[in-house]
């Protein structure tokens, strides 16, 4: 039985429909400069009790389907810890070198639980970059205006520009035009990619969603491998990455693995 349901090669991008860890365990080593992932936050949106009551996990969750959300976001905290630890362990077989880096977006409520879990995969916590959304979200009190990232290296990290600080400023993706419920803005993804990968380097995003990392990567002349387990979001990513590839003069063909 194949480790993935579909594989699409679109210019310098290779996209897999399947589970992040299962696919990473099965495919040939990628020699990736960086893993840049935006996993489900499993944050405070659902309490631990409510998460357990949700009808099933992943793609079987009727509760999440009804509100057009995505599978995996109602995992318990321990579930997310296991998923990110396993992803980080698996990344070591795909890293181009000991200088390869790993960056996960994460809700501020989960920082203290996730950082040690990922560290236990043998990675070193290097920084906590922040996305400043420049306008507060809904609510009252200290309304959330930022999102956190946890940034790790396997050994001594290799960086490719010193242009940026650890606060990345960009408005949210427009609610009217975004194609995934938690779509990340391309401006943010570009900074993450420029810092962590060289031109023609390979970026791996195991929680690809609607493919923002891939769109940004191709636009910057990088190669891309993405994994997504939801067929609808996978289709969105294929469409967006194909369009990005068409408008990129660096479309060389042959797929990310072949380069
Ligand atoms: C926060 S979203 C990513 C959004 C993406 N950064 C974008 O800009 O469109 C997380 C994605 O991970 C996917 N996902 C969750 N668990 C997964 C797993 N175990 N393997 C692969 N994909 C998974 C979800 O379906 C969801 O689309």
Q: Where are the domains of the chain?
A: 6-246
Question: Residue 152 region, left (φ>0) first, then alpha (ψ -120 to 50), else beta?
Answer: beta
Q: What pTM was estimated for this model as a whole?
A: 0.90
Q: Tell the residue nearest (CA) to atom 8 of ligand 1.
A: 183
212 CA: nearest ligand 1 atom: 8
Q: How many residues belong to the chain?
A: 259
Tell me which of 250 and 116 has the higher pLDDT: 116
Please give the distance, rounded to the nearest whole angstrom, from the Cα atom of residue 239 to the centre of ligand 1. 16
Please give the distance, rounded to the nearest whole angstrom, from the Cα atom of residue 39 to the centre of ligand 1. 5
Residues with CB under 6 A from ligand 1: 19-20, 38-40, 70-72, 180, 182-184, 207, 209-210, 212, 227-230, 233
- The whole-angstrom separation of Cα 144 and Cα 134 is 10
Task: Report the pLDDT value the prediction gives residue 233, as an integer from 0 to 100.
Answer: 96
Please give the distance, rounded to the nearest whole angstrom, from the Cα atom of residue 89 to the centre of ligand 1. 18
Task: Report the pLDDT value the prediction gives residue 171, as an integer from 0 to 100.
Answer: 97
Task: Report the pLDDT value the prediction gives residue 60, as an integer from 0 to 100.
Answer: 47
pLDDT at 250 over 80: no
Q: Which CATH fold topology does 6-246 show?
A: Rossmann fold (3.40.50)
Question: Residue 177 region, left (φ>0) first, then alpha (ψ -120 to 50), else beta?
Answer: alpha
Q: Tell the residue nearest (CA) to atom 14 of ligand 1.
A: 207
Please give the distance, rounded to the nearest whole angstrom, from the Cα atom of residue 223 to the centre of ligand 1. 19
Please give the distance, rounded to the nearest whole angstrom, from the Cα atom of residue 187 to the centre of ligand 1. 19
Alpha helix segments (H runs only) across 159-259: 186-196, 212-219, 231-246
236 CA: nearest ligand 1 atom: 9
Task: Report the pLDDT value the prediction gives residue 56, as an integer from 0 to 100.
Answer: 52
Distances (CA, A) of 213 to 77, 79, 118, 183, 204: 25, 24, 21, 10, 9
pLDDT tens-digit readout, 226-241: 999 999 999 999 999 9
Task: Return the best residue to mutate from 25, 43, 209, 235 for the ligand 1 pocket (most ligand atoms within 8 A of CB).
Answer: 209
Task: Report the pLDDT value the prediction gives residue 191, as an integer from 0 to 100.
Answer: 98
Task: Report the pLDDT value the prediction gives residue 46, as an integer from 0 to 100.
Answer: 47
For strand 146-153 and strand 130-132, is the pairing parallel, antiparallel, or unpaired?
antiparallel
- The whole-angstrom separation of Cα 244 and Cα 25 is 28
- The whole-angstrom separation of Cα 259 and Cα 256 is 6
- The whole-angstrom separation of Cα 245 and Cα 15 is 13
pLDDT at 254 over 50: no
70 CA: nearest ligand 1 atom: 25
Please give the distance, rounded to the nearest whole angstrom, from the Cα atom of residue 230 to the centre of ligand 1. 8
């Amino acid at each position: 039985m194949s480790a993935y349901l579909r594989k699409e090669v679109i210019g310098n991008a290779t996209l897999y429909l399947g589970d992040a860890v299962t696919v990473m365990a099965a495919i040939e080593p990628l020699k990736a400069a960086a893993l840049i992932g935006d996993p489900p936050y499993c944050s405070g949106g659902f309490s631990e009790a409510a998460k357990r009551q949700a009808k099933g996990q992943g793609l079987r969750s009727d509760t999440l389907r009804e509100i057009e959300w995505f599978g995996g976001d109602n995992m318990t905290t321990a579930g997310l810890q296991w998923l990110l630890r396993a992803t980080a362990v698996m990344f070591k077989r795909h890293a181009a070198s000991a200088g390869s880096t790993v960056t996960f977006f994460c809700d501020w409520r989960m920082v203290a639980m996730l950082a040690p879990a990922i560290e236990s995969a043998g990675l070193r916590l290097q920084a906590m970059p922040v996305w400043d959304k420049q306008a507060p979200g809904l609510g009252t009190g200290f309304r959330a205006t930022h999102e956190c990232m946890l940034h790790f290296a396997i050994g001594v990290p290799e960086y490719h520009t010193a242009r940026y600080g650890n606060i990345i400023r960009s408005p949210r993706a427009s609610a009217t035009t975004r194609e995934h419920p938690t779509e990340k803005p391309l401006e943010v993804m570009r900074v993450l990619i420029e810092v962590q990968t060289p031109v023609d380097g390979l970026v791996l995003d195991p929680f690809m969603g609607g493919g923002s990392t891939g769109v940004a990567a191709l636009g910057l002349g990088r190669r891309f491998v993405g994994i997504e387990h939801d067929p609808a979001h996978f289709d969105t990513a294929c469409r967006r990455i194909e369009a990005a590839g068409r408008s990129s003069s660096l479309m060389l063909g042959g797929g990310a693995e072949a380069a």
